[in-house]
Amino acid sequence: MKDKAIYYVDGATTVCLLQENDEIVARGISVCSRLDEFDKAEGRRYARNRALEARGRESDCGEILLNTPRSVWFDVVHLSLARDRFGDYKGYYYPQLTPTERLILGMKNGNHSNTAYNI
C-alpha cells in the first residue's frame, strides 16, 4: 500500500499528513525547540515517523508533554501552541483536519476556492 506524505510548516511545528487513496489516514507533528536550529529534513522525518506510528498502531500516540526535564519557557509556549492547534498528541490516526489543512489539500488538488472550506 503506497502512501503520500504532504508536509507544511505552521510556526515552529512541521506537520506531515499521510494520504492513502485520497483520504488522510494520519497526521504527525514535530515541534522545533528554540535550543535547536531549524532543520527542514529533520522536522519532516520526525513528523512522518509519528504519522506512521499512529497509522501502525491505529490510534493516536505520543502525548505532548509540557513539563519535561528539557523544557524551557519558550519550548512550553511552542508546545502549548501545538496542543491548542492540533490536540494533545504528536501522532493522530484519522485526524480531524484543521481549516488550514483543508485549504492546503484543496490547493494541492487544484481547488483554489476558499469558500469550499468554510474559512
Tens place of pLDDT for every residue, the chain, 119 residues?
577 999 999 888 999 999 998 899 999 999 988 778 888 999 999 999 999 999 999 999 999 888 776 666 667 888 888 889 899 999 999 999 999 999 988 876 655 444 333 32
The helix/strand/coil state of 24 is strand
Largest CA distance in the chain: 45
The helix/strand/coil state of 23 is strand
Q: Residue 69: inside a domain, yes or no?
A: yes
Q: Residue 51: inside a domain, yes or no?
A: yes
Q: Residue 102: inside a domain, yes or no?
A: yes
Which residue carries 493522530 as its cell? Answer: 92
Instruction: State the total domains in the chain.
Output: 1
Q: How far apart are CA 36 and CA 21, in angstroms?
A: 36
Grid cell digits, residue 86: 492540533
Grid cell digits, residue 34: 528554540
The structure's pTM equals: 0.83
Q: How far apart are CA 96 and CA 26, in angstroms?
A: 10
Considering Cα of 43, then 65, then 57, then 24, what sign does the dihedral take?
A: negative
Q: Residue 93: inside a domain, yes or no?
A: yes
Q: Residue 118: inside a domain, yes or no?
A: no
Grid cell digits, residue 25: 489516514
> Range of 93's domain?
4-113
Q: Residue 119: inside a domain, yes or no?
A: no
- Stated length of the chain: 119
